[in-house]
Structure formats: structure tokens, C-alpha cells
Amino acid sequence: MATFTILNPDQIDADDSSSDEYYGNDFVMYKDREDWADIEPVKQNDGHHAIVSISYLPQYEDTYNYFRAIMAKEEISERALQLTEDCIRFNPTNYTVWHYRRILLERLKKDPIDELNYIHRIILKNPKNYQVWEHQKFMLRKIREKIERNEFDGKLTIEDVCQKFKQFIDKVLHYDDSKNYHAWQQRQWFIRDWKKFDGEIDFTEKMIDHDIRNNSAWNHRFFVIKNTTGFSFDIIKQECEYTMEKNRLAPNNESSWNYLFGLIKQSDTKIESFEWILDECQTMYNEQTDKTLCSPHLVYFMFRFLTLKMESLIENDDGGDNDKNSETMKSLYEQAVDYCEKLAKSIDTVRKNYWNYQLEQLKKFYAS
């Protein structure tokens, strides 16, 4: 019987029973369990001359010996499902165990909501484990299929799942690591697949305010705009203004400068439409009296902006007013060279070889 209840993330605690704690003196070996007496355990085959033999805990070895046995006979049963849970406690990264568990869940017609609540506890304990996130994705798909077939009699809706899922991701990002790749990747999969982009821009603002250097939050913001409003000129201008505010707060934040450059690259309008950004950047640059303390990301942005202007001059050259264009090109080139040399010689000397390479590429471009 389905429960229809996805637990509120505040009700979920990490499954903190480690293998050492859970499988202590109270653990009964599978080989000593009467209800498993009909199964002949299958030991791990490391070959005749194993180079390195892993010293497993006896409980671990016993559990996996029986797991290999039930897999070999393709057993579909409640005890097999419980066995996978014990295997997961020992090793939650084992793909084969998760795969077989999914087979069991489907064949035994288990409630996907109960399993979702289960996997949430496992994720909180193992937030950097690829397999647990993939298992959650599988369960979410199953829940959606049931909703679309009205198997929950309207007691569970897409909106209910969306709300709890986003709350859970929020908890993971604050509980463990606000840059957790798996959490961000799965959130992007979910909102695109389920078409639930509502509130995502506000969410990125909250995460950026929490940690302005969170590259994942900036990436998510770009992803949301690309899949919703698109990059119209008005949206790009609005986003550029927002990003420049953040750049003034944290000029050494590479994430926001990359986001800003990405916005400009998305625009179909002439680069001159964004001249105000270069002016603001040059103001920030000039305000720093000791240039060795300038943000390398600020200077690199100005360098890249100038190269875009040079490319634009070439693309839009109609053959007229060549002297003016030549003079403008020379001025842009000299300014770009100056920025690049400062990066190599004083601002970011650790990466001087990279900046010298960029300078070499710029000179080749200008010479051509």
C-alpha cells in the first residue's frame, strides 16, 4: 500500500550507522541464519594469484558471498531486498547492488515513495556518491510514471514531488557542501525534465548571496536563463548589471567574471552595446593605485573584451574608412598587449607562461 508521503527534508537524518557500528556483536552472519540455510554462498573470485588481497571484515565477506549467490540464481524475494540493504551499508558505491535492488523493487512492486525516503537518508550519509544520486533519479522517474497513470488517486501530485525534491536539495547543499556537483547536476536534470523552473533564479541569488564564489550557483543561473527566457538583449543587460554589482563586491571572484563574459558572448548585438561594462571595469582598475594588487580576473576580462572588439572590427569591415579602422585596431591592440603584459609581469606572475602564450596568440591575430 502506497504511503503517498514524501518525508519533509527536516524529518530526514543521515543514516549514520556505519559498518563498524551496525555490524558489531549483534550482527548475525548470514551463514548462521536458518532462513538462509538453503543458499550456498559464492565467494569472491580473485583468481589463483591475486596480486593484492583485500582484507574484508568477516561480516562484509559473509554478506557479499550471499549476495553473489542470490544474484546467480536470480532470486526475487523480500529477503533478497533486505540483503541488498545490508550490502549497501557496507559499500554504498557498489553499482551491482543498486542495480539488483532496482530489479527487486520493480518485481516486488514496492512503493517508490518509501524507497525515495530511504535513499534520501543514504544520500545525506554519502552525498558524494554517484550511485545514490542515480538511484534517486530512478525512483523519481518511477514516481512520475505512477502520477501520470493516476496510481496515487490524486493524493500525490507533480507539485508535491517538486516541492519536496527542491527542499531536499537545499538541505544537501547546506548540510554538506554548497558546491556539491551531484546535487546541482540532479537539480538541473529535474527542473528541465519536469519543467519546474519556477523560483530557480531566486534560488541562485540566495546561493550566491550565501557564497558569492560558488561557481555552481553561477552556472545554474546561466542554465536556468538559457532554458527559460533565453538571452534577449534586455535579459543580458539586466544580468550584466547584476553581475557587475557582484564584481564590485568581490573583484577577485573568477566565477562572476566568467559569467559576465559568457553573457556578452550570448548577445547578437554589437559589442559596442556593452561599452559601459568596459568603462566600469577600467574605473575599477584605475581606482587600484598598486596595480600588482589588481584582480587578475578583472584585467583578463578587459583583455578578452578588447579582443572581441578587435574581432568585431574585422567582421564589420566593409572596406571604407580603412585609416580610421586601422587606427582604432592599433589602439585596441596596444591596450590589450598592455593588460596581458601586466598580468604576466606583475599581477599574476604564477601564470606568466599562460599570459605570455595569450600574448603570443594576440600578436599572431593582429599580424594576420
d(CA 256, CA 215) in angstroms, rounded, equals: 8
Angle at 188 between CA 185 and CA 190, to 5 degrees: 110
CB 3 within 8 A of CB 114: yes
Cell matching residue 173: 547543499
Q: Using alpha carbons, list the distances in angstroms from residue 219 to 37, 41, 69, 223.
A: 54, 49, 45, 6
CB 261 within 8 A of CB 277: no
d(CA 70, CA 66) in angstroms, rounded, equals: 6
The catalytic residue among 128, 179, 237, 352 is: 128
CB 320 within 8 A of CB 345: no
Angle at 212 between CA 208 and CA 215, to 5 degrees: 80
The owner of cell 557498489 is 94
d(CA 154, CA 202) in angstroms, rounded, equals: 29
110 is catalytic: no
Q: How many helices (H) does the chain have, and how many strands (E)?
A: 16, 0
d(CA 112, CA 167) in angstroms, rounded, equals: 18
Cell matching residue 306: 578588447
How many other C-beta atoms lie within 10 A of the C-beta of residue 150?
8
**SS3 at position 92:** coil
d(CA 125, CA 88) in angstroms, rounded, equals: 12
Helix, strand, coil percent content, the chain, rounded in steps of 5: 70, 0, 30
Catalytically active residues are 128
